[in-house]
Amino acid sequence: MNLKRVVVTGIGALTPIGNTAEEFCHGLANGVSGAAPITKFDASLFKTQFACEVKNLDVEQFIDRKEARKMDPFTQYAMISVDEAMADSGLDLEKIDKSRAGVIWGSGIGGLRTFQDEVTAFSTGDGTPRFNPFFIPKMIADISSGFISIKYGFRGPNFVTVSACASGTNALIDAFTYIRMGKADIFISGGSEAAVTEAGIGGFNAMKALSQRNESPETASRPFDKDRDGFVLGEGAGALILEEYEHAKARGAKIYAELVGGGMSADAHHITAPHPEGLGASSVMKIALDDANLKPEDIDYINVHGTSTPLGDVGEIKAIQNVFGEHAYKMNISSTKSMTGHLLGAAGAVEAIACIYALNKGIIPPTINHFEDDDAFDPRLNLTFNKAQEKEINYALSNTFGFGGHNCSVIFKKYN
Whole-angstrom CA distances from 32 to 141, 237, 390, 408 are 30, 18, 17, 26
Q: Confirm if 248 and 360 have CB atoms less than 8 A apart.
A: no
| Residue type at position 369 | N
Q: Is 123 helix (H, G, I), strand (E, B) or coil?
A: helix
Q: Which of 25, 52, 247, 305 is catalytic?
A: 305
Q: Confirm if 259 and 242 have CB atoms less than 8 A apart.
A: yes
Q: Which of 25, 52, 275, 342 is catalytic?
A: 342
Is 342 an annotated catalytic residue?
Answer: yes
Enumerate residues 6+ apart whose C-beta is below 8 A from 127.
none
Quote the CA–CA distance of 136 and 248 in Å, as a whole number. Answer: 37
Quote the CA–CA distance of 149 and 144 in Å, as a whole number. Answer: 9
Q: Phi/psi zone of residue 242: left (φ > 0), alpha (ψ -120 to 50 degrees), beta?
A: beta
Is 25 an annotated catalytic residue?
Answer: no
Q: Confirm if 154 and 102 have CB atoms less than 8 A apart.
A: yes
Distance, CA of 386 to chain centre: 21
| Residue type at position 72 | D
| Residue type at position 389 | Q
Is 165 an annotated catalytic residue?
Answer: yes
Quote the CA–CA distance of 400 and 274 in Å, as a whole number. Answer: 12
Q: Is 187 helix (H, G, I), strand (E, B) or coil?
A: strand
DSSP letter (8 states) at residue 406: E
Quote the CA–CA distance of 184 and 221 in Å, as a whole number. Answer: 39
CA-based max dimension of the chain: 66
Q: Alpha helices, DSSP H only, in 263-346?
A: 279-291, 310-324, 337-340
Question: Bridge-partner residues for 6, per DSSP?
Answer: 244, 259
Q: Confirm if 89 and 82 have CB atoms less than 8 A apart.
A: no
Beta-strand runs (E) in 217-256: 236-244
Q: What secondary structure, in 3-state letters, does 53-78 show?
A: CCCCCCHHHCCCHHHHCCCCHHHHHH
Closest CA to 195 of 309, 345, 312: 345
Positions marked active-site = 165, 305, 342
